[in-house]
Structure 1
Amino acid sequence: MLRIHMSGVDLSKVRMATRPDALWETILSFHRLRDRRGSAVFGKWRTETRPRLSAEVRLLAAVIPPRGYFPDFLTPSQEGSEPHGIDAGMEALRGTSPARVRAELALLSAERRDAARCPVGGDEEIARLVCALRGYHRAAIEPYWPHIRASVEADRAIRGRALLDGGAHELLASLPPMIRWRAPVLEADYPVDREIRLDGRGLLLQPSYFCRVTPVVYRDPRLPPVLVYPVTHSRAPVFAEPEPGPWLGRLLGNTRSTVLNAIGNGCTTSELALRAGVSLASASQHACVLREAGLIHTMRHGGSVLHTLTPLGGSLLRGGAPLAMS
């Protein structure tokens, strides 16, 4: 059980990450690569990714175990509120002191006998690790970044609504079922017992596509507090590309473009019907077609569903301007 103790000051400093963190997704995806579970969501990704990998996997396996603790320095802490892009994350990782690397690898070796032989420690080895992580990221994460970002943005839309409706208390209560808000303590399913006291530092909530089943926190209590938690995946695999089909012809038309524009920063089906000036049944039908076309992402939340634009849908509204990877 994980227990995060919050004061009133901490509640006022709870914040949501604005986008996925490239290194958290990279490290957590390496767990998923070696895990046979979650095939409905990750199966296609595993099948496509494995043939693209090379020798970097051996070095990464030495510092990232299949489960349990992995060194905190692999996911550099965020001093501000913004998650790291891949370049900033790699630069922060490269700046890790050898003393910290050795200390955290010592913690890892206490749980894994083979970690004592880990070929990382000095500046040269850190440079090799950075190179291996960048190569793995290029093969396993970069091709899927628009899908990862769309899932995180859909989760942010749900949390944002909760925050507007009931403040920080409602935001914490809206988190996935493995996380429970029992004021003043945030509890979560966790493989070991951990007590974290924020002591006025607040908490960064970081939704993650590749986090699964349980949230993740730093082992070192001195690092800025962050709770990485799994997004709720839609029933259809997000990584599945839409197949050409009858939706292409149905996509054209002024009404559907109005519906797409009305979705904006996210809305329920009822809100979509009001914004677009169509019936509830018509709004549901239009949303279904847009979802099949890969232009919106739909996530169930309580008794309703929330629609948000995918990067492709946003790009279409902007006249083809691409969404930058960050």
Structure 2
Amino acid sequence: MIRLHFTAADLCRITLAPAVDALAETALGAGLLLRPCGRDGGGGPGQARRARAAAREWRGRSARGGSTVRGGVLAELIGEDGFVPDFLLQPEVLDFAEGLEAAAATPPERLALDLGIPEAAGWNGALARPGRWARELAQGSTAASRALVHDTRHFFETWVEPLWPRIHRDTLADRALRSEMLLRGGVDALLTTLGTTWRWQAPTLHLPSVSTYDIPLCGRGLLLIPSWFATGPLVMYRPEAATVLVYPLNDAAAGDAGTDERPEALAALLGRTRARVLALLRSPATTTALAERASVSLAAASHQAAVLRAAGLVDTVRTGTAVLHSLTPLGHSLLAGVVR
């Protein structure tokens, strides 16, 4: 269990990143694609089993595509439990090319600590058995650094970049959901809904992990970065800046959780667009967020929500300057297929 300990100052300094960390996404995608059958550090299900539905579908399509998946040196860096060395997290540089350049410029002493070289560094998340290339990288080898840049760029361009429009769209939807939670219930609602297996018990956020750490945020706050590929939390402690928490995107906000359940029956009953809007409201949404999720205009989203509200399937309440749409019990029952 990882426990993040907040002070009053930290609760006032929680920020949402505007986008995913492209370099970290590449590393996490490599871990998911290169180790589909691996087991996590605690002996639990493989990383792929814990991935979001959309990420599992991506992995399945990639495996069926006939191309050989090669991660190069990334395969040595990414752990079977999804571990990503801190230097591959570049929270202040979300662009891939800039993030990769910053990672390649990491000082050798920092690399040695991140990778557990020498092992006396004592960082439990480091590589259990650093290979020859990782040791050379930590010693400042130019050739090792070039290999990192080449293999990471190749993996991004081959496997991640074609997916980037989808990642960007889903990130916008998740960001809208987090904003709604903050608007509806403040910081408590935001932290309570970050992950289904995460527990917010003020002033501590409890995150499931095979290792145990207590991390005081020390008044510097928390930077939240969404991830399309992450299967669990990634925490990066920074002694002079806000601690970074990478969290998996919300499936429902991105339109992945159950949006294809009973599609033909609901489409025949409600119309395809209206059925999709109903399914997307498993997670409450403002009109703007609903339009983004459904890829329709604001006017169309407002109209569809109004029709569903008139049918008793959706509730709409005003929250500040926005309106928030959510399913009624009848709407939930219709999606679950239990209405008789």
State the TM-score, normalized to the length of structure 1: 0.69
Superposition deviation, residue 137 in structure 1: 0.6
In angstroms, what is the RMSD of aligned CA positions?
A: 3.9
Superposition deviation, residue 89 in structure 1: 0.7
Amino acid at match of 2:10: D
Tell whether 2:248 aligns with 1:230.
yes
CA contact (8 A) 1:7 1:199 kept: yes
Structure 1 pair 94/282, CA: closer, same or farther in 2 (3 Å)?
A: farther
Q: How does 1:116-195 map to 2 (within 5 A)?
A: 116-119=131-134, 120-121=137-138, 122-195=141-214
Structure 1 pair 158/142, CA: closer, same or farther in 2 (3 Å)?
A: same
Match of 2:288 among 260, 264, 269: 264
Distance, in Å, in 2 between the alignment partners of 1:97 and 1:142 is: 28
Match of 2:88 among 46, 58, 74: 74
CA contact (8 A) 2:28 2:84 kept: no
Distance, in Å, in 1 between the alignment partners of 2:229 and 2:88 is: 15
Tell whether 2:49 aligns with 1:35.
no
Aligned to 2:318: none
Tell whether 2:296 aligns with 1:276.
no
Tell whether 2:222 aligns with 1:203.
yes
Q: C-alpha deviations, 1:124-169, integer Å up to 9, x for none?
A: 3112201111110111110111111222222111110111122222
Amino acid at match of 2:8: G
Distance, in Å, in 2 between the alignment partners of 1:158 and 1:9 is: 24
Tell whether 2:26 aligns with 1:26.
yes
Structure 1 pair 209/162, CA: closer, same or farther in 2 (3 Å)?
A: same
Q: C-alpha deviations, 1:59-107, integer Å up to 9, x for none?
A: 11122222264321122342xxxx5111221121122112222232225
Q: Give the match's secondary structure for 1:96.
A: coil
Structure 1 pair 174/251, CA: closer, same or farther in 2 (3 Å)?
A: closer
- Sequence identity percentage: 30
Q: Give the match's secondary structure for 1:195.
A: strand
Match of 2:235 among 217, 220, 244: 217
Q: How does 1:278-317 map to 2 (within 5 A)?
A: 278-280=306-308
State the TM-score, normalized to the length of structure 2: 0.66
Distance, in Å, in 1 between the alignment partners of 2:78 and 2:259 is: 25
Distance, in Å, in 1 between the alignment partners of 2:130 and 2:206 is: 31
Aligned to 1:319: none
Q: Give the match's secondary structure for 1:152.
A: helix
CA contact (8 A) 2:55 2:228 kept: no
Superposition deviation, residue 47 in structure 1: 4.0
Q: C-alpha deviations, 1:266-307, integer Å up to 9, x for none?
A: 3699x988932842179999xxxxxxxxxxxxxx999789xx
Distance, in Å, in 2 between the alignment partners of 1:2 and 1:237 is: 32
Aligned length: 268
Distance, in Å, in 1 between the alignment partners of 2:173 and 2:81 is: 27
CA contact (8 A) 2:2 2:209 kept: yes
Gaps of 5+ in 2: 38-47, 261-266, 278-285, 314-325, 333-340
Amino acid at match of 1:16: L
CA contact (8 A) 2:90 2:99 kept: yes
CA contact (8 A) 2:82 2:230 kept: no
Distance, in Å, in 2 between the alignment partners of 1:301 and 1:203 is: 31
CA contact (8 A) 1:69 1:108 kept: no
Distance, in Å, in 2 between the alignment partners of 1:162 and 1:174 is: 8
Aligned to 1:62: 76
CA contact (8 A) 2:27 2:84 kept: no
CA contact (8 A) 1:98 1:123 kept: no
Q: Give the match's secondary structure for 2:233.
A: coil
Amino acid at match of 1:181: W
Structure 1 pair 117/302, CA: closer, same or farther in 2 (3 Å)?
A: farther
Q: C-alpha deviations, 1:155-195, integer Å up to 9, x for none?
A: 11111011112222221122121222111111111111111
Superposition deviation, residue 263 in structure 1: 4.5
Aligned to 2:114: 104
Amino acid at match of 1:217: V
Q: Give the match's secondary structure for 2:229.
A: coil
Gaps of 5+ in 1: 239-245, 257-261, 286-299, 306-326
Aligned to 1:89: 99
Amino acid at match of 2:244: V
Q: Give the match's secondary structure for 2:236.
A: coil
